Amino acid sequence: MLACSFFFVGCLEDERKVDLEDLKRKLDGVAFDKESTNKFIDLAKVKLAELKIAERDFKKAGEINESISNVTKTLEEVTALIDEVKASLEASELGFEDYQAKYRAKVRKDVVGKNLDLSATKGEDFKEVRVLSVNPVEIRIYQTSGPQSVPISEIPKEVREMLQMSEEEAEAHRSKLRDNAKVREERYKEWKEGLADRKSEAAQKAIAKRLKDIQTEVEDIENSMNLRLLKIQDLKSRSSQWQRDYSLARGDKQREKALGYSQMYRDKAQKLNDLNSDGHLVIARLRSEEEDLKKMQQPGG
């Protein structure tokens, strides 16, 4: 039996030519590969877990970025809307200011030649006064005693509101007048100081030229004033004629017509008188400048 077994084993060895050493090496290799594979799988599991964490973080980051992007987009839309509303508001304000300025000018122009009641602040003598002109600081009116100015502080509230007069506008107007006067004064002072060396030929020529220009300006103003005087006389004559017609008129319509024309011509004459008054002021200023220049022409002046 034992012999048979040995024989059988020997036959197997011969038939399959099995090399036990080689088989052992192969089994060891398989064991090594399995161990390597297990290590690889373990490392892969760790890596996969890390990747899943990273994926989750990236998803959160993506959500945050998306939220930031949405917030930024919304902020840009809101900013654009604010800019649009602001621009629209500014345009509306400018449009309203332009409309208000035009309306104010129209109201003040329309009231010229009409009667206003200033009795609330000025007394009964100012119950019905004719308006000659309106500016931001005063109303020029005509009474039997002649023309006079009523400052904004003495104008009834209702009239100020109707003419859209305000202390803010009045002060801005006064400030502008002061600035203009200051500029004129400074320019004249600079020009005068520039002629400090009166002995120079150029300075003397400049003085002579300015004196000649002043004389021309004065003559032009006086000519205009003389022409206005002729027109004033004509207008007053017409006003007087219509006043006589008013006295002789029998019907209400005739009296109303005569009174209207009489007042119209009288108001026109008064406006020309005001222009001549302004002309006298300009001439006085020019004459004062002329005196200074003449002193510059004199030795020691």
Q: Tokens standing for 89?
A: 């508001």
CA nearest 191: which of 169, 172, 214, 168?
Answer: 214
Q: Give the tens place of pLDDT for each residue, 45-72.
A: 666 666 667 666 656 666 656 655 665 6
Write down the domain spans for the chain: 18-109, 196-301
- Give the model confidence (pLDDT) of 68-82 as tens digits: 566 566 666 656 666
pLDDT tens readout for residues 97-151: 677 778 888 888 888 888 888 989 888 888 888 888 888 889 888 877 778 889 9
Q: Please report the DSSP string for 41-101 in residue order.
A: HHHHHHHHHHHHHHHHHHHHHHHHHHHHHHHHHHHHHHHHHHHHHHHHHHHHHHHHHHHHH
Q: How many other CB atoms sit within 10 Å of the CB of residue 121?
A: 14
Residues 6+ apart with CB under 8 A from 160: 152, 166
Task: Inform me whether the pLDDT recorded for 228 exceeds 50.
Answer: yes
First to last CA, the chain: 165
